[in-house]
Amino acid sequence: MKINLLDFDAAGLTAWFAEMGEKPFRAKQVLRWVHQFGEDDCERMTDVARSLRARLAELAEVRAPQVVGDSTAADGTRKWLLDVGNGNAVETVFIPGENRGTLCISTQAGCALDCAFCSTGKQGFNRNLTAGEIVGQLWWAKKALGDFRSAQKPDDDAEDGRIISNVVLMGMGEPLANYDNTVTALRLMLDDNAYGLSRRRVTVSTSGIVPAMDRLGNDCPVALAISLHAPNDALRDRLVPINTKYPLAKLMAACKRYLEKSPRDFVTFEYVMLEGINDSEEHARELVRLVRDVPCKLNLIPFNPFPDSGFRRSSAARMRRFVEILVQAHIITTTRKTRGDDIDAACGQLAGQVQDRTQRRQKRTISIAETAS
């Protein structure tokens, strides 16, 4: 099989070209063609030497995941189902907004963390996505939306004109359990010779793998969101099992360390509202006490039902009271608008087609141990 050029960040492509006897500037040229212009034909990379184009055509290709499903919701949210081989697929969602366009990207086929309220976790875990499969979702979405720059007008790169202005790693999987491939993809998103996104406009969401959070802060700090969902350890152990390994005290300390290097001056805490589970006034007061020393924003998420979940969405009145308590404590709080739920593209609904659903707990333990090492 040919080498996938989407798997290389700048350092990786430079090293590969060096093995071929090519100069470092060739890597910048090829990165621009692939990630700025969306070119997948090496022969059309016109400012690359003809001899190198011929070698690239022989040895390499641009191989994004194949699209097997494409649906658009009534509100304009668009979801692609992308084949990643062996009967597995992942989902990528584009959410248009008034002043931004956000792409939600997956990092694993399925998920090993088994959060109680998430349909993806119920599908089990198959494998990590490669760097090319992660960034390939952005590459494909830009092509589908007509968001690549024109090779004929290479200087026309005004950021305000981008259709995709923000990227969030909040799709299927736990990004920090697929650390190396996630960071390679992040570096491409940030590289001025590739997608050139601001660190403030790229967000990694994690359930709280503390050692990997520390690594990310050192290696590639971007905006950080924490899937919190509970204000105390006893409840979070039930809802987010990774909490048994990295409880809330360790997680809050890790958030403070991350903020020392983060491009933003706050962490976003995501909190799915579950009726009768985590949405009482006392839960809200516990949450205030938990996060009061961490510069943060709270993002409350209405639960999106899926078959046999066993949970219900909190009522509007209950959510309003929850918000009131947080705001009275001077905590910035937003309630996420549900988008794309008519095509199962809303938060917690991404399920994809995961083939191997066995030994989920064993794989989760292995994944966490490898990430922490």
Catalytic residue positions, numbered: 91, 347
Can you state the percent helix, strand and coil of the chain, rounding each to 5?
40, 20, 40
- 354 contacts 91 by C-beta, under 8 angstroms: no
User: Distance between CA 279 and CA 316 in Å, rounded?
Assistant: 11
Query: How far apart are alpha carbons 163 and 145 in whole angstroms?
Result: 7
Token pair recorded at residue 183: 């960071």
Q: Give the Cα separation of 148 and 35 in Å (integer).
A: 8
Instruction: Give the DSSP letter string of 31-85.
Output: HIIIIIS----GGG-TTS-HHHHHHHHHHEE--PPEEEEEEE-TTS-EEEEEEEE
DSSP letter at 161 equals: G
Q: What are 271's two structure tokens? A: 């909190």
